[in-house]
Amino acid sequence: MSKLGEVLAKWREDPDFNSGVTRWEVLPASEGVYEEFPACLDPRLCQALEKRGIPRLYSHQAEAVEAVWQGKNVVVVTPTASGKTLCYNLPVINSVMNDPESRALYLFPTKALSRDQVAELRDLTGEMELDLRACTYDGDTEPGLRQAARQSGHIVVTNPDMLHAGILPHHTKWIKLFQNLKFIVIDEVHQYRGIFGSHLANVLRRLKRICRFYGSVPVFILCSATIANPGELARALIEEPLVEITKNGAPRGEKHFIFYNPPIINQELGLRRSSRLVAQKMAAELVSRGVQSIIFTRSRLGVEVILTYLRQSFKTKPGEDSGIRGYRGGYLPRERRAIEAGLRNGTVKAVVSTNALELGIDIGQLEACIITGYPGSIAATWQQAGRSGRRRGTSLAVLVAGNDPLNQFIADNPDYFLHSSPERALINPDNLIILTNHVRCAAFELPFQKEELFGQVGVQEILEFLAEEQVLYESDGRYHWMEDSYPAEEISLRSATRENVVIIDITTPERRVIGEVDRFSAPMLVHEEAVYIHGGEQYQVEKLDFDAKKAYVRKVEVNYFTDANLAVDLKVLDTFAKEQSQTLQAWGEVRVNALVSMFKKIRFNTHENLGAGPVNLPETEMHTTAFWLAFPPETLKGMTPAAVQAGLLGLSNLSSQIASLFLMGDPRDLRAVCQVRSPFTGLPTIFLYDNFPGGAGYSQEIYRVYREIFTAAHRVVTGCRCSSGCPSCVGPEHQVGEAGKKHTLQLLEVILR
């Protein structure tokens, strides 16, 4: 019996462990479906594959190679570790073997994935002694290597951010690439949703525009994890017809998938044991028995807290390495690459990670995966679970539920997760703010003809507006760039602001940079007196210089971490659509003013509140879109204003969590605000707004499926065992009042009547 098998056998017999198991699903192993190498592949390439132990292709790989050879755009949608890489590497390498001038552009959402893919390419082509030059081009690429990539790179591997700001604006230096561009590869397509996907669709419009200028018509090869609408998303990104390849031919080993709900430690308040503590305990047992594991958690803070707990559970001698690492954004590139290598060679026994390791980076043959809290979507959960196990042998995935309504719904309804289709990925490329910004970038790159389409969208009004603003000038029916500034540098593809706040350790006179956070998150994470945790070590923020984008921290040892509160004010600016039944439903444009007002100190292990303090930082303002639902007086049947307020608070706590079940977004992508008497509707109203400038399409989708969302919310509240409210349903009693659960149910029944 394997080491993992021993742990599973022990857990099967342990009544304490099984008391928290709401489902133990065993996904059986399956055999692969194979096909011979397509006739279009060069024999030398087939021989190189055979030398690497690949005598045949999986059916989806062969289908993709054939379709691309016929000049068709394709999207390949198969699970993690199903060999999607060969679906694009084989056509690209084959093309270079037949035509040394052939070029390809690879897009990956992260730098780590880019470097991993270049290593894979070099391994494969090294077998053939082929002069194929694959170059990484990102912010870490040295100047000398950048020139080599421009001049002679057969395959340029980059990310959307670098394409947007570092390649397209300088296309005149990339003439050889754009004149000979045969393929554009976009991997991890499911990551391009919401604001990021909306930006990428516009970056691809600019890319295709430049390709047309240089006379190339590249074929798109896209790869995605399983989502509900891969073809729809891929077509929205590239605005071209394509072939969907969804039948997986790869074999799969047996996987145990355990849904675990931590025990209730306070029946009256409905409080459960912390999911972080439960995950740490499971991970400690797996690691102590030699099972290499990955522990996913939702936030940077979660990584550092679990990492701290896990290292404490293994007593090591001074200078001895525990083999346990953290992995998240904010770590420096060299640090991240060392961790990836340690996972592959086995020196790293366990890694605690955010979703940064959810993607297809090669991290070896991990046996166990613990997911601390529902990742926010069915697709993301399967993606994380797929990081353990490969094509042979038994593997384990455990989903440890958190205390919030969304997690409790999944824990109590595992069939919903196991048998539902993954969510639809939503993008809104025609968001006016995003579209206008990319028209500016495109005009910098090449002049616009009058009435020219941008992708499939008419932008004449935007061009005229930019001419009025003296950003462009018109001459002979063409719009030319006239500003001195460089527009792409001002536009971030991933967040509301471009600049990151650098974190500087001032413990010693040398002062060193230990990490960074985006400008929008800085007030929450690195306000003065915050405890910032990095690599399991604690740092107290001495000063946040918001204007200079620097946070100064000093190493400390305290028994608590900090968590900040956000206060929000919302005003409706425009209504796009509305309808009235029992209640009034609408969606439209809103302005959100947000202020981080205070922070709490939370003790390690017990998670009790040790006190609070103020945060003195400026208010931020954002224009976005929102869904709102208002209750006319006649529907409330005499509920007092206090009862309505309690019910609205409960709905707010529930709705943003439950809505993410129906959207392929993180619950943090949505925010809820309630107003007992809204200045706009004059009625008790709840708002759900997209937590992005300009909106990302979530509120419009909520307007379409709001009844399904509130039906699921009703199931959460009626299924919860608390008496008057708890964090697992409508929120704790001290927040919503003694009858908060009752009043929330009253409002839900009005909505669903």
Band of the pLDDT at 536, cuts 50, 70, 90? low
Query: pLDDT per residue over 672-684, tens digit each?
Result: 889 999 999 999 9
Phi, psi of 380 (to 5 degrees): -65, -35
What contacts 748, CB < 8 A, 6 or more positions away? 651, 710, 713, 714, 717
Asked whether residue 719 carries a pLDDT value surpassing 90, the answer given is no
pLDDT at 494: 65
In this prediction, residue 201 carries a pLDDT of: 95
The arithmetic mean of pLDDT across residues 45-53, rounded, is 90
The reported pLDDT for the residue numbered 496 is 41
- The 8-class DSSP code of residue 360 comes to S
The CATH number of 3-28+252-419, from 3.40.50.300, 3.40.50.1820, 3.40.50.261, 3.40.50.970, is 3.40.50.300
Mean pLDDT of 34-60: 92
Q: 3-state DSSP call for residue 345?
A: helix
Least confident of 11-15, 392-396, 420-424, 621-625: 420-424
Residue 498 has pLDDT above 60, yes or no: no
Q: Is the pLDDT of residue 518 over 70?
A: no
- Alpha-carbon span 85 to 111, nearest angstrom: 16
**Range with the lowest mean pLDDT among 74-88, 111-125, 265-279?**
111-125
Phi, psi of 202 (to 5 degrees): -75, -35
Give pLDDT, residue 203: 96
For the domain 34-245, what is the CATH code?
A: 3.40.50.300
Q: In what order do the strands lie in the sheet with 350-353?
A: 21-27, 255-260, 395-400, 368-372, 293-297, 350-353, 324-327
pLDDT at residue 535, rounded to an integer: 64
**Are the beta carbons of 263 and 19 closer than 8 angstroms?**
yes
pLDDT digits (tens, 9 = 90+) for 557-575: 888 888 887 777 889 999 9
- In words, the CATH class of domain 567-752 is alpha beta
pLDDT tens track for 624-656: 899 999 999 999 888 898 999 999 999 988 888
pLDDT at 406 over 50: yes
**Residue 126 pLDDT more than 90?**
no
The most confident of the ranges 181-190, 220-229, 401-410, 736-745 is 181-190
- The pLDDT of residue 41 is 93
* Vertex 623: Cα angle to 600 and 298 (nearest 5): 40
The predicted model scores a pTM of 0.76
To the nearest 5 percent, what fractions of the chain are helix, strand and coil? 40, 25, 35
Beta strands per DSSP E along 451-511: 453-454, 457-458, 472-475, 478-481, 500-505
Residue 360: pLDDT above 70?
no
Beta strands, E only, 225-349: 243-245, 255-260, 264-266, 271-272, 293-297, 324-327
**Residue 89 has what pLDDT?**
93
Q: Kind of pairing, strands 457-458 and 478-481?
A: unpaired
Nearest residue to 66 (alpha-carbon basis) of 105, 33, 39: 39
Q: Which residue has the tokens 């459960």?
A: 272
- Positive/negative CA dihedral, 441, 446, 448, 452: negative
Q: Which amino acid is at 206?
A: R
* Nearest residue to 334 (alpha-carbon basis) of 507, 513, 521: 513
Instruction: Pick from 120-134, 481-495, 669-683 the range whose average pLDDT is largest.
Output: 669-683
Mean pLDDT for the stretch of residues 311-340 = 78
